[in-house]
Amino acid sequence: MIKLDVGNVLLKPSHRKQLMGWLKRPLRMGDRLGDSVISISMHRTGRSVEIKADVANRRGSAGFRSRKNDWHYAARDVVQMLAHYLHDLSLQPTIA
């Protein structure tokens, strides 16, 4: 599940669709791990945009953040960090 809080960042509907498209892979990987919740918050300060993402699932939780001048670059960084984290988590053996 994805929770998106855009804060004071103005996103057009096409930008929301683009962001959700980028999040498809991390969302699928999170679903495979079980009960994953990805919370994304965006905040603009001056000319820069800060994006924070928190992911929580059965195996643990983690937080990521990126601050860039454009929301595209910050979102891309956060999505890549999420995908890498969830991929690494899926490769670790489960302790039963």
Q: How confident is the model at residue 22 (pLDDT cuts 50, 70, 90)?
A: very high
pLDDT at 30: 85
- Report the length, in residues, of the chain: 96
Full-model pTM: 0.85
Residue 79 CB neighbours (<10 A): 23
> Domains in the chain, start-ordered, CATH in brackets?
2-91 (3.30.160.100)
3-state secondary structure of 51: strand
pLDDT at 2: 87
